[in-house]
Every structure is written in C-alpha cells, then in structure tokens.
Structure 1
Amino acid sequence: MDVATLMFIAYRAMDDRIVSAMREAGYDITVAQARLAQRIAEDGSRLVDLAEQAQVTKQTASMLVAALEQKGYVERVPDPSDGRARLIRFTAEGQAAADHARELVMAVEQEWNDHLGPPLATALREALTSLRELVDPYR
C-alpha cells in the first residue's frame, strides 16, 4: 500500500473517532463541518480563506458555515480590517466544541504515540512535518 493511502487511513480513522465522540458529547457536527471548523483562526477567518485551506469551493464553504451558524457554533462578524468583509468566528458554544475536539485529538494522538513508542512517534511527526513544508502552502 502506498504511503499516501496509509496516511489517509490514519487521517480518516482520527476523523471518524473525533466526530463520533463529539456527537456522543452532544455536539451535532459532520465530518465536513469539522474539517472546515478546525481551520477557523482564533480571531476569525474569512470565508474565502477557509474554502482555500479546506480545499473546497467557496459555495461549499458557505454552505458548511451556514450549517455551523444555524447550530450556534459560529457567527459572522464585520472584519475590523475591511468594512466590506465578514469574519467567521466561534461562538462560546463553538469554542467549547473546538476545545473538546482538541482534547479528543490529543487523546488519540497519545494512544498512537503509546502504540508506536517514543522514537517512532517522534520520527513520524518529524517526517510528516517535513512533508508538510513541501506540500502545504498554508503552513
């Protein structure tokens, strides 16, 4: 099996576990919504930036943000640096959800680190970080 497929399998396993645990905790969120929400900057993000980072169309990003907004997880506010633009940012409920998701991610990562052992876990993180520098323009 090629390396990209192996990485994808691990990525999807993480997605599925986190979204399932989020739902069990009472947060109504889909995988697509979670992927977009994890890219919202602390001080808010423009829709076009979220779409680009999530590698979806602006229309898809808009639909996902609208669903998150309807659920009370995000809000659109004026961008202080550009009066014509709007920022998407977490509401208090959305921030609580994001914080919970981060805790879940850290727990799964710890499980993986325990399984791999410190040397292999460190090497994996370093290798993936190096690959990110090669392929990710949003780093």
Structure 2
Amino acid sequence: MDVATLMLIAYRAMDERVISAMREAGYDITVAQARLAQRIAEDGSRLVDLAEQAQVTKQTASMLVAALERQGLVERVPDPTDGRARLIRFTAAGQDAADRAREVVMGVEQEWNDHLGPHLASALREALTSLRELVDPYQ
C-alpha cells in the first residue's frame, strides 16, 4: 500500500472518532462541516479563506457555514478591519464543540503515540511536518 493511502486511512480513522464523539455529545455535525469548522481562526475567519483552506468552493463553504449557523455553532459578525466583510466565528456552544473535538483528537493522538512509542511517534510527526512544508500552501 502506498504512503498516501496509509495516511488517508489514519486521517479517516481520526475523522470517524471525532464525528462519533461529537454525535454522542449531541452535536449533529457532518464530516464536511467539521473539516470546515476546524479551520475557523480564534478571532474568526472570512468565508473565502475557509473555502480556500478546506479546498471547497465558496458556495459549498457558504452552505456548510449556514448549516453550522442553524445549529447555533457559528455566527457571522462584521469584520473589524473591513466594514464590508463578515467573519465566521464560533458561538459559545460552537467553542464548546470545538474544544470537545480537540480533546478527542488529543486522545486519539495519545493512543497512536502509545502504540508507536516515543521514537516512532516523534519521527512520524517530524516527517509529516516536513511533507506539509512541501505540499501545504496554507501552513
């Protein structure tokens, strides 16, 4: 199996754990919504930036944000640096959901670290970070 497929398997396993935990906690969130939400900056993000980072169209990002808004997880607020623009930011409930998702991610990473051992876990993180520098323009 090629390396990219192996990385995808791990990525999807993480997605499944996070989405499952979120649904158990009462959040009706899809994988696509979660992938977009995880890119929301602490002080908010513009829709166009979220779309670009999530590698979806602006229309798709808008639909995902609208679904998150209906659940009360995000809100659109004026951008203080540009009166014409709006920022998407977490509501208090959305921040709670994001914090819960982050806890699950950290727990899964700890399981992986325990399984791999400190040397391999560190080497894996270093190798993936190095690859990111090569392929990710949004780092």
Same fold (TM over 0.5): yes
Q: Percentage identity across aligned positions?
A: 88
* Partner SS state of residue 44, structure 2: coil
- Which consecutive residues of structure 2, in runs of 5 or more, have no partner in the other structure? none
CA offsets, 1:75-118, max 9 Å, x none?
00000000000000000000000000000000000000000000
Give the TM-score taking structure 2 as reference length. 0.99
* Partner SS state of residue 39, structure 1: coil
1:5 aligns with 2:5: yes
- Which consecutive residues of structure 1, in runs of 5 or more, have no partner in the other structure? none
What's the counterpart of residue 98 of structure 1? 98
CA offsets, 1:26-72, max 9 Å, x none?
11111000000000000000000000000000000000000000000
What's the counterpart of residue 23 of structure 2? 23
| Distance (whole Å) between structure 1 residues aligned to residue 25 and residue 94 of structure 2 | 13
1:14 aligns with 2:14: yes
What's the counterpart of residue 55 of structure 2? 55
* Partner SS state of residue 117, structure 1: helix
Paired residue total: 139
Amino acid at match of 2:79: D
Bigger drift between 88-97 and 20-29 goes to 20-29
What's the counterpart of residue 118 of structure 2? 118
* Partner SS state of residue 27, structure 2: coil
What's the counterpart of residue 33 of structure 2? 33
* Structure 1 runs, 4 residues or longer, greater than 2 Å off: none
What's the counterpart of residue 72 of structure 1? 72
Superposition CA RMSD, Å = 0.4
| Distance (whole Å) between structure 1 residues aligned to residue 92 and residue 18 of structure 2 | 20
| Distance (whole Å) between structure 1 residues aligned to residue 58 and residue 2 of structure 2 | 31
Amino acid at match of 1:135: V
| Distance (whole Å) between structure 1 residues aligned to residue 123 and residue 96 of structure 2 | 32
